[in-house]
Amino acid sequence: MSYYYGGCSDHHHQEPYFLDACFLCRKPLGYNSDIFMYRGNTPFCSKECRQEQIEIDEAKEKSWKRSSSSSIRNKESKNSSTKTNKTVRTGTVAVA
């Protein structure tokens, strides 16, 4: 019986190393070239690519904050308008 171990010896189907290419433009990163990092482990080939990603992320965060704050305001306004229209009855209830 023969067994095959497909662990580290299988070079044909390796997952790409995270420092192989720029996150934004996918340009291959050279071994002797500078790598510009952002938010932990996100590599970029240049300051320009990194800056573009920073601006994209900031725009997404601003958009998210605007949409979440407007949805909170909408919920608060709905809750306050429904609170004023409710009728509350007080009294004694007799159970037989």
Is 24's pLDDT higher than 70? Answer: yes
Model-level pTM? 0.54
In this predicted structure, what is the pLDDT of residue 6? 45
- Phi and psi at residue 64, to the nearest 5°: -65, -45
Q: For 1-96, where are the E strands, in sequence order? A: 36-38, 42-44
Convert the pLDDT of each residue in 63-82 to its tens digit. Answer: 998 887 776 666 666 655 55
Report residue 52 as tokens.
């573009």
Convert the pLDDT of each residue in 42-68 to its tens digit. Answer: 999 999 999 999 999 999 999 998 887
